[in-house]
Amino acid sequence: MREKPQSADLLHWYDRHARNLPWRVPPGAEVDPDPYRVWLSEVMLQQTTVAAVKSYFERFTTLWPTVSNLADAEDQAVMGEWAGLGYYARARNLLKCARVVRDAHGGRFPDQREDLLKLPGIGPYTASAIAAIAFDRAETVVDGNVERVMARLYDIHTPLPAAKPELTEKAAGLTPDLRPGDYAQAVMDLGATICTPRNPACGICPWSAACIARVNRTAAELPKKTPKKPKPIRHGIAYVARREDGAWLLEQRPDKGLLGGMLGWPGSDWTEADPLPAPPIEADWHDPNAEVRHTFTHFHLRLTLRLATLPMTAAPERGTFLSQTEFRPANLPTVMRKAFDLARDPLTKD
DNA sequence: AAGCCGGGGTT
DNA sequence: AACCCAGGCTT
């Protein structure tokens, strides 16, 4: 009978190999983690890599050192700082959550999973992560890393997402009462650095002796996943206009849906058929003969550009002018910044 | 249960 | 260019 993986073995590995991350309190440190920083980092890390998150985390915590500071911020300031990180509903829910914590919880995060779960933008994974890491509660975190580690330890071939309940059960069975916060981070670090999606480093894995997939040589093909649907191609038109004083014509996108609440160029809907032109103002729109290509979660976009220089008297039906000093391209979501990059040269040379 | 949400990295 | 990675919300 193969021995059950021991949490103590993993904690021992973590004590020596824990990654140094801006939001992490290293194992053995005498300070308690700040729930605000744990929450902020975990929300940023949803579907997003450590490398992409680092600079955003540093900027957010510098601008807003506490959850109440963040709750007091302007919506557009937060959305602008989130630009480029993706999944913008996270930023809208981040603000909602900060304001609930400020107004209903006296500026302190709840310390129980069940209460965390009620907050906007906090689901099963994030609630467990905050409870375990910030409050050292024996909750089980199940993210993509943990799913992969469990699928391999127990050689589970059921494809995701159907396998999720079984993988969660296996993970819960391993969660210790001793140092659950460090343990949660240790399993995820193991998945991120040793038990990787391709070419897992089984030779140096602290749990290799207990791993069934290692014996069966199936580790590299686990976890199985149900095949995904192909992405259709959608087309659209974006209108990039600059007034003679250098101000840019932009609009805030509606709060729901794609890029919700973000700044963008006025334009047509994005459809699989040819898009209907929808200029925000009558003007001499010209064709820069370049197209923005961008891929979203569920479709490819080919965005045609139209450029114009507008007189000071222009009164567009859509959008508002942002002066050169108000407008920061870094506050645009990536597809809109790509459009700006193509439009800036033709529109900024006198 | 299935669809809606970005972006970056690797092959 | 195709593929891979990866939580929460909505319907």
* Nucleotide nearest to A144 in CA–C1' terms: C6
**Which pLDDT score, from 0 to 100, does residue A2 have?**
62
Same domain, A210 and A239: no
Mean pLDDT of chain A: 95
Tell me: the pLDDT tens digits for A158-209?
999 999 999 999 999 999 999 999 999 999 999 999 999 999 999 999 999 9
Strands A291-295 and A300-310: antiparallel
* Residue A98 pLDDT grade (very low, low, confident, very high; cuts 50, 70, 90): very high
Same domain? For A194 and A262 the reply is: no
pLDDT at A322 over 60: yes
CA distance A151 to A213: 8
CA angle, A199 then A205 then A206, to 5°: 165
How many domains does chain A divide into?
2
User: How does pLDDT run across A64-85, given as a tens digit for each residue?
Assistant: 999 999 999 999 999 999 999 9
Does A176 reside within a domain?
A: yes
Assess whether A117 and A214 both reside in one domain. Answer: yes
Which nucleotide's C1' atom has the smallest distance to the CA of A333?
B6
Kindly state whether residue A322 falls inside one of the protein's structural domains.
yes
Is residue A346 very low, low, confident or very high in pLDDT (cuts 50, 70, 90)? confident
Domain end call among A201, A221, A241: A221
**How many of the other CB atoms lie within 10 Å of CB of A263?**
24
Question: Stated in angstroms, how far is A298 CA from B3 C1'?
Answer: 10
Residues A211 and A271 in one domain: no
A237 belongs to a structural domain: yes
Q: Which residue is nearest to nucleotide C2 (CA to C1')?
A: A230
Which nucleotide has the least CA–C1' distance to A199? B10
Q: Crossing angle for the helix pair A180-193 and A7-17, nearest 10 degrees?
A: 70
- A227 found inside a domain: no
A194 and A115 housed in the same domain:
yes
CATH of the domain at A154: 1.10.340.30
Q: Is the CB of A80 under 7 A from strand C?
A: no
* A1 — pLDDT class (breaks 50, 70, 90): low
Residue A212 structural domain: 7-221
Residue A334 lies in a domain: yes
Q: Is A296 domain-assigned?
A: yes
Are residues A217 and A246 both part of a single domain? no
**A246 CA vs B2 C1’ separation (Å):** 46
Q: Report yes or no on A2 lying in a domain.
A: no
Residue A228 lies in a domain: no
Q: A229 pLDDT band (50/70/90 cuts)?
A: confident
